[in-house]
Amino acid sequence: MSDRQFGELRASSLYCTRCGTAQPVRERLLLVLPDRELHEYVCATCGDAVGTKEVSAADVVSARLAQRRGGRQVRIL
Ligand SMILES: [Zn+2]
């Protein structure tokens, strides 16, 4: 059970305090910064914000590279 320590949150559903149970969420781009993006998870049922996620620019880039199956990892600082 050590898989969780890097906790990549692939949130298709999250616990919503207002609904009192896990709900499907929608991801919304909240803010774009030069080095990262801020995403927000909104409960699809009541519309409350239930969480946020930061995606670093390097992650965005490597995700795009992975799509192209280039295989080489590029680090951008
Ligand atoms: Zn809710």
Name 51's Cβ contacts closer than 8 Å, sequence gap at least 6.
Answer: 9, 11, 14, 25, 40, 41
Would you kindly state where each structural domain of the chain is located, as residue ranges? Answer: 12-67
Ligand 1 center to residue 26 CA distance, Å?
Answer: 11
* Tens-level pLDDT at each residue, the chain (77 residues): 444 444 455 668 999 999 999 999 999 999 999 999 999 999 999 999 999 999 898 887 787 888 776 555 556 55
Q: Please give the full DSSP string across the chain, using - where no structure is assigned.
A: --GGGG-----SEEEETTTTEEEEEEEEEEEE-SSEEEEEEEETTT--EEEEEEEEHHHHHHHHHHHTT--------
- The DSSP 8-state label assigned to residue 20 in this structure reads T
Ligand 1 center to residue 70 CA distance, Å?
Answer: 40
Ligand 1 center to residue 16 CA distance, Å?
Answer: 5
CATH class assigned to 12-67: mainly beta
